[in-house]
Amino acid sequence: MPSGKHTVAEKAWGGVFDESTDRRVEEFTESVSFDRRLYAHDVAGSVAHAQMLAQVGLITSEECRQIEQGLDEIRQRIERGEFPFSVELEDIHMHIERALIDRIGDTGRKLHTGRSRNDQVSTDLRLWTRDAIDRIDRRLVALQRAFVDRCDGDFDCILPAYTHLQRAQPVLAPHYWLAWCEKYQRDRQRLADCRRRVNVSSLGTAALAGTSLPIDRHDVARRLGFDDVAANSLDVSSDRDFVLETVFALTVIAEHLGSWAEEWILWSTVEFNFLKLPQAFCTGSSIMPQKINPDVLELTRGKTARMIGNLQTLLVLVKGLPLAYNRDLQEDKLPLFDSVDTVEAVLELAAGLVAGAQLNRPAIAERLDRGYLDATTLMEYLIGRDVPQRTAHGVVGRLVGEARKQDVRLADLPVESFTAACGELDERVYDVLGVERAVRAMQSYGSTGPDQVRRQIERWKELLESGHSGPRTDDEANHD
């Protein structure tokens, strides 16, 4: 960045100062190296502000036109990479304002009427976050779609499901896929709910107390597509709840992605051998020629760490801050930007991985009989014959113990074992044993029974086909 060319008077706040700023202070306090990402939203906020100023008569419509045109040219210069950034001008807001003044003179000096950088940065960040939420929502839908698109093809595949990572009960593969869809749906609802508080206008609260000028904050809010106008200037000047909430919602998404990645890393091992990952999403080893490593999934899991770090940074940043704006708040952007970038990148690859992975059906089927996945269904069969649950649990537990000693399936035990274990059992017990029968026996709402899963697949197809423009909360969805 070029060395100091602006004198004391050239700083936007230069009037009261006799001394020019120490170069090290400029470098320490600058934010333009990262908040330049807000340029488009800064321009949009300024255009709406200028239009409102013209509307209420604080500037003329000709002045407004000059401001709009000047800002548009600046935006284009930034986009062409021709805009000079320098630490003396601190942040993106000062850069754009200075460039405007350099371009259109005194008219440019009127743009900051009735606002301060405190409400300006809050507005920019709200607009930027709103766009980010909408982009991430679309990526979540794409990931859900990748899971739903697998469901019909994988319908007849039964997987062992786990608790404590020990084989528990059999489920249909689409039941597994839709479990992830449900998690990402809650993520979408969280984002939609948080978006309501993001989408509130802070512009015109000025520094912290509002302004004595006759501005129209509701007019500005409408122009920028905000749903509401913040009602207390002192509160909103210091408010970064919307950043905390967004980053929290993103961190939960990362947690979900990380758990899914962990599961698929395990599933793609020789030991599990459930899944073949698409090679385009794997990397190799520089020394072991045979290796095909799930690095994308490992980094998906690993990046959860920085997401949690970003959330913690923000929580500590605002802890104990007095009202209203404090410069500490400038530090909110890096963790927000990083969390958005990270989740977006991971989501994009996740959809491709889900679409490209192949279930290794023979290997799964071959070992499906291991682990007594049908034991719980046998217990429920006894309950159906009026055996109390605790008693039935004990009976099946003893039968599993017997089978395990002989290293056979429950279905391989002789009928005498069953009749000896419980008077309610006879040769008909073989009709309920085995994983396929165990899956078919399921009937409760939300279970892995084929009818239930088929209904859920239809529900998901409809949900994803109903195509809407952005994230919605449950309430909003229910009003359709």
Rounded to the nearest whole angstrom, what is the least distance from the CB of residue 329 to ligand ARG in the complex? 5
Distance CA 210, CA 125 (A): 19
Burial 236-270 (b: 16+ CB within 10 A, else e): bbbbbebbbbbbbbbbbbbbbbbebbebbbbbbee
User: CB 91 → ligand ARG: shortest distance, Å?
Assistant: 4
Q: CA-CA distance, 251 to 256, in Å (whole number)?
A: 9
330 binds ligand ARG (CB under 6 A): yes
Q: Does 205 bind ligand ARG (CB under 6 A)?
A: no
Other beta carbons within 10 angstroms of residue 140's beta carbon come to 24
Give the N- to C-terminal CA distance of the chain in Å, as an integer.
53
Q: Is 329 in the site for ligand ARG (CB under 6 A)?
A: yes
Give the integer Cα–Cα distance in Å for 88 and 7.
10
166-172/358-359 β-pairing: unpaired
# residues near ligand ARG by CB under 6 A: 10
Q: Which is nearer to ligand ARG, 17 or 284 (CB)?
A: 17
Work out whether 118 is an interface residue with ligand ARG (CB under 6 A).
Answer: yes
Assess whether 268 carries a catalytic annotation. no
Nearer to ligand ARG, 121 or 433 (CB): 121
Q: Does 117 bind ligand ARG (CB under 6 A)?
A: yes
Q: Whole-number minimum distance, CB 35 to ligand ARG, in Å? A: 6
C-alpha 266/C-alpha 460 separation (Å) is: 27
Tokens of 34: 């990262």
- Of 3, 164, 469, 479, the catalytic one is 164
Active site residue 41: no
33, 61, 285, 468: which one is catalytic? 285
By C-beta, is 63 or 119 nearer to ligand ARG?
Answer: 119
d(CA 268, CA 345): 22
> Is residue 237 at the binding interface for ligand ARG, with CB under 6 A as the rule?
no
Among 96, 111, 121, 307, binds ligand ARG (CB under 6 A): 121
Nearer to ligand ARG by Cβ, of 74 and 89: the residue is 89
Q: Which is nearer to ligand ARG, 39 or 184 (CB)?
A: 39
DSSP annotation string for 60-100:
-HHHHHHHHHHHHHHHHHHHTT-----GGG-SHHHHHHHHH
Reduce the DSSP state of residue 477 to 3 states and report it: helix
Choices 95-103, 158-166, 219-227, 325-333; region in contact with ligand ARG by CB under 6 A = 325-333
**Catalytic center residues:** 164, 285
- Contacting residues toward ligand ARG, per CB under 6 A: 31, 35, 91, 117-118, 121, 325, 327, 329-330
